[in-house]
């Protein structure tokens, strides 16, 4: 009796053998239902074998092989294996993470196949039709290539009946999986930079990684669309990854309207489970020729993949922060390499990893330096020194003046402050007490209107104390500024203006964010106060002034990536200011106007900033100059976590060129009543780091962790 090796969603890094009556190689990649302990689980067949791996162990039979989902093809299985090895994560969990959640359900799932129709001999059929039957001749002309029922029905009210008659006499045949023509695609006229970029990407022949670096308004999306058009014309599929927050209905609409004849599979979190599974099936069958999705879409099987695009490739949301801690950007590059197709990484502010790869010549560096709209100007930056300046409620007189000017011209202002709540600190001036979270090593944020103190890390909240719990002093004060306080300040300063705040608190209700965006669009808002929620992807035609405040904390942070993140964030928020007819201005209130980061923003020179950051990381020994992994552990007591990590470190194999540091408490040691510590591992050699991690994790999985929760994060974004 043959056996199947099955990947199951369990935290053990192995496959499980089951016996099966009859099985062929075509069943590899299929869903199976198998008994596991007292449960029935859905698994994926990874291999077919003549003998079980462990002789002498009782092997249970498979309950059922399901044929509802297209089998995961060999290239997808290989990518998932690579992912499991790279991130040292159990293969079964990797496979199940990559599948739409609907397929973890035992119930079968059916998606009707999209059939297409084609004339068996178009010339013969045309000759048999009377010359005056115009509609029939038009149909025959169309049927020279495979067409969908919907396309044919559009020709006339009786067209479908005619086609059915031709099918009955064999003049028209049904076909499957054949790429339909994409229709006439009319793109925008490209400028010289865009043309060069599209040409360098080519049309899906051979691997090549392209870093497409261009500021807001330089027309990156148009480059994507025209590169995709070339790939579709060659009969292939395109995979487009976008950060969750950027995948707006407008962007999806732009893709759909450019390629009306092409089926597009949208794969993101606001698509319902069943719909998502159906879109995935269509992509896997080759029917959907464009896959537009977030992080997880990178694993979608696509039999005719011709191009991979990662938009806003620097965005942190490409890295999953729990479970399988993978980077969709890095997997996209790995996937393109295996499929031997081009991959485009687009950004105004590339990650230092990608920028370094381009500087080293591993990626081709394509710049979009020109604005796509002729005459459009980049926003003008102004740095306002706030040290020793006469500030009122956190606003400089120049800032107040600039806002007043916009109000007089009926234009909008956005004030960017990436800190929600009323104030970040509640402080007693008598005894120095600060409101702290009892569950985390963090301060509580003041939410004055609700009369609450909230922890933004664990969600804990309590009533605002009327007096200091330390000394009884009644004069406890909120210190510092959050978006709520800034909103109050502006409303008091400009009583006739409509001030609106947009942050996670103000948009909690479903639909409220969309309603707010509409109000801004319609010009019903004069002054916007917002966090990074507003920084991305939204175009407001009347917004001409962006004020940045509270950004200095990113300049001297202990986190070596803070400056990179800050630059990206400010470049993005600046992109909201100004359109062709209204030039924009960006004011940055800062104590450090001479700081090189601000100077690079002022000069619109990301490369200067990136080179300087890279030099610093070279000196300090940080990625991307070297490679890191971090083993994290959490326990009720810090000592337990550290003891566990010390034991773990003793299991680490000694590999030359790989450094294992001593266990240390995490930057935020206490989170939601758990104490956290970590061990950092680093190496200049990726292969050595990988082989060391593989041997280490093998040893670790033999150990009992007890109540300690631990995880390995390869290429961590945060330490």
In the complex, the residues that contact Zn ion under the rule CB under 5 A are 428, 430-431, 433, 437, 439-440, 455, 457-458, 460, 468, 470-471, 473
Residue 435 vs 566, nearer CB to Zn ion: 435
Triad 652, 654, 656: Cα angle to 5°: 135
Nearer to Zn ion, 461 or 604 (CB): 461
Q: What b-and-e string marks burial along 392-428, b requiring 16 or more CB atoms within 10 Å of the CB?
A: eebbbeebbebbeebbeeebbbbbbbbbbbbbbbbbb
Q: Among residues 473 and 599, whose Cβ is nearest to Zn ion?
A: 473
H/E element holding 95? helix 91-98
Minimum CB separation of residue 468 from Zn ion in Å reads 3
* Closest to Zn ion by CB, 96 or 427: 427
Residue number, 187 or 459, with CB nearest to Zn ion: 459
Give the separation between CA 401 and CA 236, rounded to whole angstroms: 55
Closest CB 434 distance from Zn ion, rounded Å: 10
Q: Tell the residue number behind the tokens 């990518």, with chain if given.
A: 79
Residues 6+ apart with CB under 8 A from 66: 30, 31, 32, 33, 42, 108
Q: How far apart are CA 229 and CA 233, in angstroms?
A: 6
End-to-end CA distance of the chain: 50
User: Which residue number, 109 or 433, has a Cβ lying nearer to Zn ion?
Assistant: 433
The CA R_g of the chain, rounded to the nearest whole Å, is: 29
To Zn ion, the closest distance from the beta carbon of 323 in angstroms equals 22
Q: Min. distance of Cβ 466 from Zn ion in angstroms?
A: 12
- When the beta carbons of 26 and 431 are compared against Zn ion, the nearer one is 431
In terms of CB distance, is 81 or 439 closer to Zn ion? 439
Structure tokens at 600: 């690079």
Which lies closer to Zn ion via its Cβ, residue 123 or residue 434? 434
Q: How far is CA 133 from CA 119, 126, 163, 164, 292, in A?
A: 17, 10, 14, 17, 42
Least spacing, CB of residue 446 vs Zn ion, in Å:
14
Query: HSE (CB half, 13 Å, CA atoms) of 260?
Result: 8
C-alpha torsion sign, points 415, 417, 420, 425: negative
Output 470 or 596, the one with its CB closest to Zn ion: 470
Give ∠ CA 317-323-329 in degrees, rounded to 5.
Answer: 35
Q: Which residues have C-beta within 8 Å of that of residue 398, sequence separation ≥ 6?
A: 384, 587
Residue 639 beta carbon to Zn ion: minimum distance, rounded to whole angstroms = 21
- By beta-carbon proximity to Zn ion, the closer residue of 179 and 666 is 666
Rounded to the nearest whole angstrom, what is the least distance from the CB of residue 475 to Zn ion in the complex? 9
* Phi-psi category of residue 338: left, alpha or beta, with phi > 0 → left and psi -120 to 50 → alpha: alpha
Q: What is the smallest separation between the CB atom of 719 and Zn ion, expressed in angstroms?
A: 20
DSSP assignment of 332-355: HHHHHHHHT-EEEEEESS--HHHH
Residue (102 or 447) nearer to Zn ion, CB:
447
Least distance in Å: CB of 244 to Zn ion?
A: 25
Shortest spacing between CB 472 and Zn ion, in angstroms: 7
Instruction: Classify each residue of 465-488 as buried b or exposed e, where b means 16 or more C-beta atoms within 10 Å of its C-beta.
Output: eeebeeeeeeebebebbbbbbbbb
SS3 472: coil
- In DSSP terms, 709 is beta-bridged to 634
**Min CB(501)–Zn ion separation in Å:** 23
Alpha helices in 143-242 (DSSP H): 149-153, 159-168, 192-201, 220-233
Alpha carbon distances (Å) from 353 to 230, 345, 598, 616, 617:
28, 11, 21, 14, 11
> Which CB sits closer to Zn ion, 26 or 471?
471
Say whether the peptide bond before residue 618 is cis (omega within 30 degrees of 0).
Answer: no
**What is the smallest separation between the CB atom of 220 and Zn ion, expressed in angstroms?**
39
SS3 content of the chain, % helix, strand, coil (to 5): 35, 25, 45
**DSSP letters of 532-551?**
GGGTSS---TTEEEEEE-S-
Give the residue among 221, 216, 232 at the shortest CA–CA distance from 190: 221
Q: Residue 439 or residue 701: which is nearer to Zn ion going by CB?
A: 439
Q: How far is the CB of 561 from Zn ion (least distance, A)?
A: 23
In the complex, the smallest distance separating the C-beta of residue 465 from Zn ion, rounded to whole angstroms, is 10
């Amino acid at each position: 009796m043959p056996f199947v090796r099955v990947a199951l969603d369990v935290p053990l890094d192995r496959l499980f053998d089951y016996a099966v009556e009859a099985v062929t190689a075509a069943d590899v990649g299929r869903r199976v239902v198998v008994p596991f302990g007292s449960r029935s689980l859905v698994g994926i067949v990874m291999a077919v074998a003549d003998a079980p791996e462990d002789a002498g162990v009782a092997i249970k039979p498979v309950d059922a092989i399901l044929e509802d989902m297209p089998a995961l093809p060999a290239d997808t299985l290989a990518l998932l294996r690579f992912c499991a090895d790279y991130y040292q994560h159990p293969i079964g969990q990797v496979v199940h993470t990559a599948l739409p959640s609907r397929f973890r359900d035992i119930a079968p799932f059916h998606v009707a196949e999209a059939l297409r129709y084609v004339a068996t001999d178009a010339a013969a059929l045309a000759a048999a039709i009377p010359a005056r039957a115009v509609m029939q001749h038009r149909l025959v002309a169309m049927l020279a290539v495979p067409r969908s029922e919907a396309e044919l029905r559009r020709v006339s009210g009786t067209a479908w009946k005619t086609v059915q008659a031709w099918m009955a006499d064999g003049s028209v045949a049904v076909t499957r999986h054949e790429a339909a023509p994409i229709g006439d695609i009319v793109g925008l006229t490209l400028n010289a930079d865009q043309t060069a970029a599209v040409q360098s990407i080519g049309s899906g022949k051979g691997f090549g990684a392209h870093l497409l670096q261009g500021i807001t308004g330089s027309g990156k999306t148009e480059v994507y669309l025209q590169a995709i058009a070339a790939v579709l014309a060659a009969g292939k599929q395109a995979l487009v990854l976008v950060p969750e927050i950027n995948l707006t209905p407008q962007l999806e609409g732009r893709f759909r309207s450019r390629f009306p004849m092409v089926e597009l599979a949208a794969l993101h979190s606001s698509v319902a489970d069943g719909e998502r599974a159906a879109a995935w099936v269509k992509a896997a069958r080759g029917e959907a020729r464009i896959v537009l999705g977030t992080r997880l879409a990178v694993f979608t099987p696509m039999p005719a993949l011709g191009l991979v695009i990662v938009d806003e490739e620097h965005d942190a949301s490409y890295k999953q922060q729990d479970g399988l801690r993978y980077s969709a950007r890095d997997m996209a590059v790995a996937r393109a390499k295996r499929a031997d197709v081009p991959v485009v990484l687009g950004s105004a502010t590339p990650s230092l990893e990608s920028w370094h790869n381009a500087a080293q010549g591993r990626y081709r560096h394509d710049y979009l330096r020109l604005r796509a709209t002729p005459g459009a100007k980049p926003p003008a930056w102004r740095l306002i020194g706030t040290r020793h300046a006469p500030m009122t409620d956190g606003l400089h007189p120049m800032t107040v003046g600039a806002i007043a000017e916009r109000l007089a011209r009926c234009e909008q202002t956005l004030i960017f402050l990436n800190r929600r709540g009323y104030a970040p600190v509640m402080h007693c001036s008598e005894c120095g007490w600060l409101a702290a979270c009892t569950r985390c090593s963090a301060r509580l944020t003041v939410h004055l209107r609700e009369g609450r103190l909230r922890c933004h890390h664990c969600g804990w909240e309590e009533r605002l104390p009327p007096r200091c719990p330390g000394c009884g002093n009644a004069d406890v004060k909120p210190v510092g500024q959050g978006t709520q306080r800034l909103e109050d300040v502006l409303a008091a300063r400009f009583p006739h203006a409509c001030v609106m705040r947009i942050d996670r608190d103000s948009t909690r209700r479903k639909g409220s964010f969309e309603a707010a965006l509409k109000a801004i669009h319609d010009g019903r808002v004069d002054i916007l106060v917002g966090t990074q929620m507003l920084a991305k992807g939204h175009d407001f035609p009347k917004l001409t002034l962006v004020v940045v405040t509270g950004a200095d904390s990113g300049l001297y942070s202990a986190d070596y990536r803070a400056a990179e993140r800050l630059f990206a964030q400010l470049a993005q928020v600046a992109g909201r200011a100004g359109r062709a007819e209204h030039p924009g201005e960006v004011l940055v209130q800062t104590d450090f106007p001479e700081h090189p980061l601000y100077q690079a923003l002022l000069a619109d020179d990301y490369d200067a900033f990136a080179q300087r950051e890279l030099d610093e990381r070279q000196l300090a020994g940080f990625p991307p100059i070297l490679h890191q992994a971090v083993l994290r552990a959490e326990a009720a007591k810090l000592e337990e976590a550290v003891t566990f990590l010390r034991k773990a470190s003793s299991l680490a194999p000694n590999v030359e060129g790989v450094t294992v540091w001593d266990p240390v408490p995490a930057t935020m040691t206490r989170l939601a009543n758990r104490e956290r510590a970590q061990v950092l591992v680093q190496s200049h050699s990726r292969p050595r780091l990988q082989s060391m991690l593989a041997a280490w994790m093998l040893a670790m999985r033999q150990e009992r962790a007890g109540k300690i929760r631990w995880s390995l994060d390869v290429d961590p974004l945060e330490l």
